[in-house]
Structure formats: C-alpha cells, structure tokens
Amino acid sequence: MIPPIARRFVAGESVPEALDHVRACNEDGIAVVVNLLGEHYDSPADARADVDAYLSLLDDIADSGLDACVSVKPSQIGLDVSSDLFEEHYREIVARAHERDAFVWCDMEGADTTDATLDAFESIAADYPWSVGQCVQSNLRRTREDLERLVDVPGAIRLVKGAYDEPASIAYEERSRVDEAYREDLRFLFERRDRGVAVGSHDPAMISLADRLAREHGTDYEVQMLMGVREDAQRDLAAQGVDVVQYAPYGDRWLSYFYRRVRERRENLTFALRAVAGR
C-alpha cells in the first residue's frame, strides 16, 4: 500500500486506481498523462513487459472514454538495451495509440539519450502524425537547434526546464539562465507553431507568458503539471478555460519516484506532510 505521504504524487499501484484518478481529474476539467513507473531496464524481457502494459493501458483508456493519454520513458521501453529495440517498441506503442485514436508522449531522460530519442520521435511522427509528442529540456545548450529541427515535425512538443544534473559544458546551471532559455524557447514555439505546444511548468511566470504568447500568435497550447504539485492552480487554470493536463504516474515502483519529487523542491515535502495531516 502506498502511504499517504507518497500518494499525493502517485495515482495508485494498479490500472483501476490510475483510471479512478483520471476520472476525478476529468471531473475538474483536467486531462491526464498516465505514466507507468519504471526506467533503466537492461533486460529485454523487462522492457517488453512494460510495452505490453502500455498497449493494454491504451486499450483501457480508449474503452473508458476518459480524457487521458500515456507517457513512456526511453530507458523503460528498451533504450538501455539498444536504440533499435527502443524505437521498435516506441513505434509499436504509438501504432496502437493511432489505431485507438489515442496519444503517446515520450519523456526525455539524461542528455546522453537525446539523440536516439529525437531520432525515433521524428521518424515515428512522420508515420503517425499527431499521435505522438516529445519532451524537450530547455536547460540543455543544444535545445534551440533541436527545436529548429523539430518545429515542423507533425507531433507535439512538451517544453520543460529540465531536472537532470548535467555538466556545465552541455547545460545551463544557473536558474536565471535556465529561465531565460525557457522563455526564449517558448517564444520560438509559439511564433513558429499553430498547435502541439505543451508548457511543462509549474512556474506562474512561464504560464502567464504562454498565455500572452498564445493571444499574440493564436497558437493552441496546453499546460502540463505534475500530480501533487500546485493542484489548486491546475483547477483554477482549468476553470479559466486553459487546457490543463496533469502528469500522473502509477505502479509499484513508486518509492524512488516519490523521493525524486521531494528532492527536487523542498515545498513538495511540505505539501506531502500537509496531505498526511489532512490540511
């Protein structure tokens, strides 16, 4: 059983629990990206098991009629085995989503996975247009070039600041510089795209900027936030007519995910303790 202190950030251990969480979010006007917890498999069998779980989950979501999609991690579906296995599995999952009128996001992991991940996204989006989306991290120095490459790809782009501890030679380290890069990347996407922009941020300043840019350029966009973080703001934005999507993980590998959330921001621990106290 997931203790209350972690349950704030994890939508249960089973698919039925995850779908119940989606249903509750949908009642508040919030869509959900569902992620099965798991990463860094060096066994093809482990990767295959999670691929099968995602195929089944896509069917469950389609049959339920809920407003949800899925998100996978490259190292979860085979990248630590080989880039070919990763792309094969990634393509299989997106093909099922395309068949069921569903959608697949692919998370971005460490910088050493960026090339293989973007190569696969570009190839798969060409075959299954607008059935797939890719996360991109603004803290990497290479990201503007990546966005110029991807801007015309028929797939969505989720822009995040980036949470991986990368060396200064390839990534911005100062928070102010990461914020500057994020703003520049947002402007680029809103200026160059008319759809498929996801603002992956809890930062009110970035969300306000996205709103201004959308009004200026007429670009359709959504705001994506994590389960358990600024959920009042998620509901407020949804009530204002903003397309809000919550990233909600589930599964029995919840402990390491919970600790990551707490390490990222001290406030997250405060949120969790308040949840335990019922406040």
Q: Which of 7, 80, 96, 107 is catalytic?
A: 107
Cβ atoms of 249 and 226 closer than 8 Å: no
Q: Is 107 a catalytic residue?
A: yes
DSSP-derived 3-state class of residue 270? helix
121, 146 contact by CB (below 8 A): no
Residue 22 to residues 45, 86, 107, 203, 231, Cα–Cα distance (Å): 29, 27, 19, 23, 14
For the chain, what is the total number of helices (H) and then of strands (E)?
A: 11, 8
Active site residue 158: yes
Residue 110, φ and ψ in degrees, nearest 5: -60, 160
| Residue 55, token pair as written in the block | 């195929």
Tokens of 267: 């406030």
| Active-site residue, selected from the candidate residues 7, 96, 158, 261 | 158
Counting beta carbons within 10 angstroms of the beta carbon of residue 244, is it exposed (0 to 12), middle (13 to 18) or buried (19 or more)? buried
187 in Cβ contact with 228 (< 8 Å): no
What DSSP letter does each residue of 51-107 carry, written as one string? HHHHHHHHHHHHHHT-SEEEEE-GGGTTTTT-HHHHHHHHHHHHHHHHHTT--EEE-
Half-sphere exposure of 146 (CA within 13 A, CB side): 24
Q: What share of the chain is helix, strand, coil (3-state, %, to 5)?
A: 55, 15, 30
* Residues involved in catalysis: 107, 158
